[in-house]
């Protein structure tokens, strides 16, 4: 489940501010609200990353017990250690794979290497095309991919592109650019899950790829200019 950290991708744009690259979100437990309808799975998957949501799920058996057996209200209220233990067990064994050996066994070294090499090549390509299309010539472009650290639920992947000059700013990607990025990075159905397994195996939650716009080839810039001209011509009204 992919969420883009852009104004068009999330409902809380306050996250689109940072002084350093990469911008950490999931690893800090920050709530991300995708710009998606509440009945969509990606919305609730993102909400689950917030500690309060996970704690609510972990403690739901206690709430159910109170509804079924109201007389247990006092004993449950007097057992905070049991609640803390329930949360710990839920985080460590229900959502996560706590054993390092089991995490490493999620994916072979060869497969992990292929996934990461393919992602690196795709990242360099999309950054080059994006920098050329936006006629960037200075600074550094960063592609940041952050994934959830929880193994037993569908992966949540945050994707952002930042431009670093004298300051760091998030690029406000439009719908077409987001679609291009998603297809280039995660075009194959299993790529996102394979990257998640590789990240879990290595204990890595965030990947960053960088490109200097000054190194973008003239050929790529000409191709971007031609594509922009074609799009402008296609959007122009037909002569009467």
Return d(Cα 21, Cα 155) in angstroms, integer: 22
Minimal CA–CA distance to 65: which of 53, 56, 76, 50?
76
For 217-229, the pLDDT digits (tens) are: 777 777 767 666 5
pLDDT score recorded for residue 238: 53
Return d(Cα 198, Cα 176) in angstroms, integer: 28
pLDDT score recorded for residue 239: 54
pLDDT score recorded for residue 26: 86
Q: How confident is the model at residue 61 (pLDDT cuts 50, 70, 90)?
A: confident
Return d(Cα 66, Cα 161) in angstroms, integer: 47
Q: Three-state SS for 150?
A: coil
Round the average pLDDT of the chain to a whole number and report it: 83
pLDDT score recorded for residue 142: 92
For 152-165, the pLDDT digits (tens) are: 888 999 999 999 88
Is 90 exceeded by the pLDDT of residue 144?
yes
pLDDT score recorded for residue 85: 87
Return d(Cα 65, Cα 76) in angstroms, integer: 9
Return d(Cα 130, Cα 127) in angstroms, integer: 5
* Token pair in block for residue 32: 């991300």
The answer to whether the beta carbons of residues 42 and 174 sit under 8 Å apart is no
Return d(Cα 238, Cα 24) in angstroms, integer: 47
Q: How confident is the model at residue 4 (pLDDT cuts 50, 70, 90)?
A: very high
pLDDT score recorded for residue 65: 77
pLDDT score recorded for residue 146: 93
Return d(Cα 89, Cα 32) in angstroms, integer: 24
For 170-189, the pLDDT digits (tens) are: 988 888 888 888 888 888 77
* Number of Cα atoms under 13 Å in the Cβ half of residue 179: 3
The answer to whether the beta carbons of residues 162 and 21 sit under 8 Å apart is yes
Return d(Cα 73, Cα 158) in angstroms, integer: 40
């Amino acid at each position: 489940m992919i969420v883009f950290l852009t104004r068009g991708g999330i409902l809380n744009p306050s996250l689109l501010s940072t002084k350093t690259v990469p911008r950490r979100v999931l690893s800090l437990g920050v709530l991300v609200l995708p710009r998606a309808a509440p009945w969509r799975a990606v919305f609730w998957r993102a909400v689950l990353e917030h500690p309060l949501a996970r704690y609510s799920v972990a403690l739901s058996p206690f709430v159910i017990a109170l509804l079924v057996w109201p007389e247990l209200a006092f004993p449950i209220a007097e057992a905070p250690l049991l609640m803390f233990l329930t949360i710990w067990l839920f985080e460590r064994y229900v959502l996560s794979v706590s054993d390092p050996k089991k995490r490493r066994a999620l994916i072979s070294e060869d497969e992990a290497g292929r996934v990461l090499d393919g992602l690196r090549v795709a990242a360099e390509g999309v950054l080059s095309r994006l920098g050329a299309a936006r006629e960037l010539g200075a600074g550094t472009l960063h592609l940041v991919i952050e994934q959830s650290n929880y193994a037993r639920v569908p992966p949540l992947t945050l994707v952002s592109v930042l431009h670093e000059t004298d300051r760091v700013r998030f690029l406000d990607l439009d719908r077409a650019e987001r679609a291009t990025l998603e297809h280039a990075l995660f075009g194959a159905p299993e790529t996102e899950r394979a990257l998640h397994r590789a990240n879990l195996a290595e204990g890595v939650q965030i990947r960053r790829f960088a490109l200097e716009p000054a190194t973008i080839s003239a050929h790529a810039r000409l191709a971007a200019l031609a594509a922009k001209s074609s799009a402008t011509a296609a959007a122009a009204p037909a002569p009467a």
